Structure 1
């Protein structure tokens, strides 16, 4: 388990990490999210003793990182796939790590096989592609067979097969009862991998919750409807006290999860529906909504600022207007 208590890091007047307190539990994949500049990398570096906190503490299985004997046997981490001697082969890079942590050299062959690099084990790392470098970094994290694993952007440079592999690997490690902590900007991958989320913005904790609860609390669920009998459907919905939002020339939206109610209502009134589909926000949409006020770097696409065009709402009294 990883435990953070009041973790804080200041660089002069700038507060990079602001009193973070949360735990990363074993047996699940915990995703670590935040906009650029939120303090994720600084937090992970402090977890591994690479940066000294201004205040607060991190415990790895109850100990500080610098108290761990043979730390690769406690916690394996991939923070920077390029952090290796380019003149060494993949095998000798891992062998140096193994020897410095009292790990049997047979383990080097095992992890090379696990990450799919056995065929290039004798090649120098400086000739590796980004994806191969990622695999070698993951091999280093696995080398000590640790109970805790941390990955920062583990799918960078990987092809679709590699992405599928690392996703299943992280799930399998968690299923063995290990602690798995992963940071990524790829929301689609995080949605498929993580069970629990820790979200920070401007160095502060914004959420510490399950994936399902995070999406439910930070998103809008609605029903999308298309019909050639728009006026009849509006009358029927009005009679049932249901408020409708016009989202386009032929599209109506109703907030909440009312698809069955709307379908039965349309059937009773013999109204043809071309579409009746429940819509739920993705992890990306929920994340964007929660962190909107915490984004430090904004880019614009040339369109006027201020959000989307307003939509027309049709309440129960829409015909009285």
Structure 2
């Protein structure tokens, strides 16, 4: 378990992390989200004792990191790519870590097999690709068989097979009752990996909730409709008091609508439908809506917005 209580980090006048309080519990994969500059990396560094908090504290299974004996056996972390000496082999990099934490030599072979690097164990790490480097970083995190694991952008540089592997690994670790905390900018991957979410913006906690509840609260649901009789359908929906969105592609969307009711209206008026499908917005959309006011840098969006048809009238 990871417990944060009033965690704060200031750099001069800038507040990078602002009184963060939350708990990362065992048994589930907890995703850590936030825009660039939100304070995610600083928070994870403070969890590992790499940065000292200005105020507040972090406890790993009830103890500060600097009071953990043989810390690799309590918490494993992947934070930075290529955090090793390039002249060492993968085997000797892990062996050094093992010896410094009282971990048996045999464990090095085990984790190299686990991450798929056994065949290149004796190669110098400076020759490793980004994906191979990620696998080595994950091997280091697993080396002490810890109860708590932190992963920062673990799938960067991995091919589809590797992404599937790390996703399965994280779920398996959580299923064993371990605490798994993962930060990523890949929303699609986070959506199928994480069970719980911690979201921050400008150093402050924005959400601490389950994945399903986060999407439900912050993203719209809608019904998508395609029909060759678009104008007739729009008239029928307007007369029934149904709010519609006319998209640029010519489809129709009904916000918070019931597919059953729309289908019944279309049937009553003998309108042919090619598609009638309830849709739930994505994690990415939910994230963008929640964090819109906390993003430091905004690019100009020149994409035309859809036309809302709430006040549409016949003949307009």
TM-score range, shorter chain: over 0.9
Distance 1:17 1:191 in 2: 25
Q: TM-score, normalised by structure 2?
A: 0.96
SS in 1 for 2:309: strand
4+ aligned runs moved over 6 Å, structure 1: none
Write the deviation string for residues 193-214 of structure 1: whole angstroms up to 9, x where unpaired: 0000101010001111111111
SS in 1 for 2:81: coil
Query: Does residue 1:241 correspond to 2:237, yes or no?
Result: no
Structure 1 27/274 Cα, relative in aligned 2: closer, same or farther at 3 Å? same
Number of aligned residue pairs: 316
Match of 1:35 in 2: 35
Kept in 2, the 8 Å contact 1:81–1:136? The answer is no
Provide the aligned C-alpha RMSD in A: 1.6
Distance 1:101 1:51 in 2: 21
Query: Does residue 1:313 correspond to 2:303, yes or no?
Result: no
Distance 2:257 2:70 in 1: 53
Distance 2:38 2:145 in 1: 30
Kept in 1, the 8 Å contact 2:72–2:101? The answer is yes
The 5-angstrom pairing of residues 133-152 of structure 1 reads: 133-152=133-152
Distance 1:124 1:300 in 2: 45
SS in 1 for 2:19: strand
Q: CA deviation at 1:169?
A: 0.3
Write the deviation string for residues 214-239 of structure 1: whole angstroms up to 9, x where unpaired: 11111111112222223432343244
Write the deviation string for residues 234-293 of structure 1: whole angstroms up to 9, x where unpaired: 343244332223224732221114111111221122111122122221111111111111
The 5-angstrom pairing of residues 84-103 of structure 1 reads: 84-103=84-103
Match of 1:11 in 2: 11
Kept in 2, the 8 Å contact 1:227–1:250? The answer is no
Deviates more, 1:261-270 or 1:15-24: 261-270
Q: CA deviation at 1:310?
A: 5.2
Mind listing any 5+ residue stretches in structure 1 that lack a counterpart? none
Structure 1 186/312 Cα, relative in aligned 2: closer, same or farther at 3 Å? closer
Kept in 1, the 8 Å contact 2:226–2:274? The answer is yes
Structure 1 89/205 Cα, relative in aligned 2: closer, same or farther at 3 Å? same
The 5-angstrom pairing of residues 119-130 of structure 1 reads: 119-130=119-130
SS in 1 for 2:254: strand
Q: TM-score, normalised by structure 1?
A: 0.94
Write the deviation string for residues 144-184 of structure 1: whole angstroms up to 9, x where unpaired: 00000000000111111111100100000001110000001
Kept in 2, the 8 Å contact 1:246–1:314? The answer is no
The 5-angstrom pairing of residues 57-76 of structure 1 reads: 57-76=57-76
Structure 1 312/40 Cα, relative in aligned 2: closer, same or farther at 3 Å? closer
Distance 2:155 2:231 in 1: 50
Distance 2:234 2:143 in 1: 63
The 5-angstrom pairing of residues 1-321 of structure 1 reads: 1-248=1-248, 250-300=250-300, 303=302, 308-309=304-305, 311-315=307-311, 318-319=313-314
Structure 1 312/299 Cα, relative in aligned 2: closer, same or farther at 3 Å? closer
Kept in 1, the 8 Å contact 2:150–2:182? The answer is yes
